[in-house]
Structure 1
Amino acid sequence: MHLEKRLPRNGKEGLLYGTIISTLTVFFMTTYSAIYFAGDFNGEVAFTILKMLPIIWIIVMIIEPAIFGRIAEALTAKFTKPEDSFNSKILFRILFTVLGMSAAMTFIGDVVGNGFHSELFSNWLLNWPRNFVIVLAAESLVIQPVARFVMVKLHESQDAKAKVSTEVNGKII
């Protein structure tokens, strides 16, 4: 799968790919949660979103590759075969990543937004299933396809540059 145009091929591309996914997911879920709990969108909600975005984004950029990405990769390898399709592997990877990240971020988001409080666990039990389903749908239908589209365009551009650089005076080297 190293030459797969829809996935990163090296560390820089992996960082770009992860940044796109994390940024879109954090923006989506932070905005959704703020509006859901506030009831409507206003200046105060917008300010809350702007305050929480960088904090949550940093947390996500640390724990996804360090913990949940590795777990998702191992579970995907366990539940798929090498000959399985790209789509089946990606769907398993999304499922396992979203499962772990939504569980962790539902808890962490509540702590970041409201501090430690007595309803922390009961809030998690109430909010996590909803967050899981919402993020799973968003990741599967919008966020991951956007990130893969960016990778395809990046690789097409790189391939075109590589082709041009191998041509000298109209001759292919």
Structure 2
Amino acid sequence: MHGETRLPRGGKEFILFLAIISILSVNIIAPLIMAFKFGFTKDVYVDTLKVIPFVWVCVIILVPFVVNPLVTKLVQKFAGPTDGFNARVLFTILFSVTILSVLLTVIGSWIGMGEISWKPIHTFFYDWPRNFFIAFWVETLIAQPVARFAMKKLHESQARKTVNA
């Protein structure tokens, strides 16, 4: 997948790719999770907006240092040499969302509550399936396609500049 135009090709492109996915994800997933848990009210939404920056920072730290190393190993283990781009992307989304949803079901609750407690651990098996379901579909249908489209357009622009130069 070295020549794939829908993936980042370097550090700066990875940062852009991560920024697009994380900003879209956090701004869609967090309000949905909170609304399903506490109700679809303006107060719940405003309270969610107050903690989103902290959750976003947590995601930005977790993805390159915890999630990506694990996902890379898992995709290599489960995706075969004949599997195409879409299969690898789906495995990547599945493993990324699984790992992040497990971590953020607890850590995100701590951030939202403003304290570390046992409550998110006690309610984990009630909360996590809902969180996973919301995150998986947001990633699969919105965040990842938008980020891949942005990469494709960026690479097309770079190719045009190279040809015109």
Band the TM-score falls in, shorter-chain normalisation:
over 0.9
Aligned to 1:103: 102
Structure 1 residue runs of 4 or more that deviate by more than 3 Å after TM superposition: none
Alignment partners' CA distance in 1, 2:38 and 2:60: 26
**Larger RCO of the pair (alpha carbons < 8 Å, separation 6+):** 2
1:15-30 aligned within 5 A? 15-30=15-30
Aligned residue-pair number: 164
**Partners of 1:25 and 1:139 within 8 A in 2:** yes
Aligned to 1:8: 8
Alignment partners' CA distance in 2, 1:120 and 1:101: 15
Alignment partners' CA distance in 2, 1:9 and 1:160: 17
**Partners of 2:29 and 2:138 within 8 A in 1:** no
**Partners of 1:34 and 1:48 within 8 A in 2:** no
- For residue 53 of structure 2, what is the amino acid of its counterpart? P
Alignment partners' CA distance in 1, 2:67 and 2:130: 19
1:60-71 aligned within 5 A? 60-71=59-70
Q: Gapped runs of 5+ residues in structure 2?
A: none
1:133-152 aligned within 5 A? 133-152=133-152
Aligned to 1:171: none
Q: 1:7 Cα deviation (Å)?
A: 0.3
- For residue 67 of structure 1, what is the amino acid of its counterpart? V
Aligned to 2:163: 163
Q: 1:37 Cα deviation (Å)?
A: 3.1
Aligned to 1:77: 76
**Partners of 1:52 and 1:113 within 8 A in 2:** yes
1:41-90 deviation line (CA, Å, top 9, x unaligned): 31x33431221111000000011111111101110011112331001111
SS at structure 1 position matched to 2:130: helix
Aligned to 2:117: 117
- For residue 19 of structure 2, what is the amino acid of its counterpart? T
Alignment partners' CA distance in 2, 1:41 and 1:157: 43
- The structure that has the greater radius of gyration is 1
Percent identity between matched residues is 40
1:12-64 deviation line (CA, Å, top 9, x unaligned): 0001001111111111121112322331231x334312211110000000111
Q: 1:121 Cα deviation (Å)?
A: 1.4
Q: 1:141 Cα deviation (Å)?
A: 1.6
Say if 2:89 is the partner of 1:90.
yes
The 10-residue stretch of structure 1 (96-105 or 117-126) with the greater mean CA deviation from structure 2: 117-126
**Partners of 1:30 and 1:52 within 8 A in 2:** no
Alignment partners' CA distance in 2, 1:20 and 1:57: 12
**Partners of 2:93 and 2:140 within 8 A in 1:** yes
Aligned to 1:130: 130
Q: 1:153 Cα deviation (Å)?
A: 0.6
RMSD of aligned residue pairs (Cα, Å): 1.3
Q: 1:118 Cα deviation (Å)?
A: 4.1
